[in-house]
Amino acid sequence: MNWMDCMSPATRRSALSVLLVLGAASVGAVPAVPASWTDSSTGRRIVRVDDSPGVYALYFNYNPFTPQGDLMIYLTREGIRVADTRTWQTRLVLKASVDRLLFAGPKSRSAYYTTRDAAVEEGGPSTVWSVDLDTGKTRRVADLPGGRVMAINADETLLAGVWETSPPPPEIARQGRRDPVTGSPAYAGVDADGKPLTFAQAKGRWMAARLAARVPMEMYSVSTATGERKSIHRATDWLNHLKFSPTDPTLLMFCHEGPWHEVDRIWTIRTDGSQLTKVHTRTMAGEIAGHEFWGRDGKTIWYDLQTPRGGVTWLTGRNLATGEQWRYEVARDQASYHFMQSPDGQMFSGDGGNAGKWISLLRPVLREKPVPGLITPGRLESVRVADLAKHDYTLEPNQHFTPDGKWLVYRANVEGRPVIYAAELAPTAAVAPSR
């Protein structure tokens, strides 16, 4: 006899109804296992993390992971979600209308984001919030007069951002706006014959016009504890791409934005406005340097260098403390929109381009023994991870190593729509390096 046999028929029917409801709720609460397969070109396991309409993953040098490495944040039209980096199952943390998802906290299990009134244009006043990724509890951090927050420091005490203290010309402002969910810009135009410009041509024309406008700007810090805002630096240079050192909470990297062959792009500054320092000086007509990012040591800045543009390409590193420099030659099919260093500092990743559509691991190999005071030359060996043959690079993949170094996460449209994928770095089949 079981326990239900002791009940009256009416009570038994009631109990069955409760069990059915609880069972349905339980089934609904179990996250779906994400689809996965083996990439036939690389032998690596690929997981489709999320293909929700408008799904958005963070820019390549914005941290999406909790300090413990177990959760990754991303954005959908519904709100902020997290993916479990062990299972790639996802859940909604915050159902809200989010202006921008910024980054995960380097110390706390939280995500930072901004909201703004629907009537306020992009770049106008906004509010910075944080949300606890375990409880969903939110905290108002600061109200901002305009611009956008771009960085958080190593001890999570300061945010940093920029804003245009005077507005740019309306047409420049319009084309510079990005969709807050998809990240897609509005670059467009026609040539002298009235023919539509390509995406790259329109972007180049817009960047030149924005640089020439010499719009007044301010770089500022915001206390995460009190919301107090302080000015760091004012200029009519186009200030962009702020990023704190991952180990030094007062050292901030930023760029002078614009057509790369017209600007000395990469700079550092202290949060009190002191020690404004140019990292790389151009020495060749047409030379470009950009897409800079911090090495894992928090002392080395890595960047894409071309001497000149379209010529020899190097993945270049400069240690700010010792002055050491490395230049790894990048082969044509290794050229990438973005590079990133692995958590152990031993490898790099590349997200490819039209000459080589791959998510790849790149192993640095020295050509010469290091000599004090001289640049150390080298090359890169490729290990292909994911085939992006069908990808349209107007959507940047923005790949990220998971903190344990076992996966590369990226966004691609190889299935005809933006999707977040994770590629496992331990191969499921023996695959030799391609170079």
Residue ranges of domains in the chain = 34-51+284-429, 61-140
Average pLDDT over residues 129-138: 98
Torsion (CA) 398, 108, 88, 422 in degrees, nearest 10: 20
Higher pLDDT, 291 or 200: 291
Higher pLDDT, 201 or 90: 90
Q: What is the pLDDT of residue 33?
A: 75
Calculate the average pLDDT of the chain.
Answer: 89
Q: Locate tokens 């700079």: which residue?
A: 267
Give Cα 50 to chain centroid, integer Å. Answer: 16
CATH number of 34-51+284-429: 2.130.10.10
Residue 75 pLDDT more than 60? yes
Residue 282 pLDDT more than 90? yes
Average pLDDT over residues 57-79: 97
What is the DSSP track for 298-320? SSEEEEEEEETTTTEEEEEEEET
**Computed from CA positions of residues 129, 130, 133, 135, in that sequence, does the dihedral angle turn out positive or negative?**
negative
**Computed from CA positions of residues 179, 53, 390, 86, in that sequence, does the dihedral angle turn out positive or negative?**
positive
Contacts of 415 (CB under 8 A, 6+ apart): 51, 390
Question: CA angle, 291 as apex, 370 and 348 as ends, to 5°?
Answer: 50
Which pLDDT band holds residue 153 (cuts at 50, 70, 90)? very high
Q: What is the pLDDT of residue 16?
A: 37
pTM over cut 0.95:
no
Q: What is the pLDDT of residue 435?
A: 52
Per cent of the chain over pLDDT 90 is: 76
Which pLDDT band holds residue 186 (cuts at 50, 70, 90)? low
Q: What is the pLDDT of residues 14-53, one digit of tens each?
A: 443 333 333 333 333 456 678 999 999 999 999 999 999 9
From CA 273, how far away is CA 267, in angstroms rounded? Answer: 12
Residue 2 pLDDT more than 50? no
Number of H helices, E strands in the chain: 3, 28
Q: What is the pLDDT of residues 304-357, one digit of tens each?
A: 999 999 999 999 999 999 999 999 999 999 999 999 999 999 999 999 999 999
From CA 349, how far away is CA 47, in angstroms rounded? Answer: 18
Q: What is the pLDDT of residue 304?
A: 96
3-class DSSP state of 189: coil
Q: What is the pLDDT of residue 8?
A: 47
Q: What is the pLDDT of residues 374-417, one digit of tens each?
A: 999 999 999 999 999 999 998 999 999 999 999 999 999 999 99
Average pLDDT over residues 416-430: 83
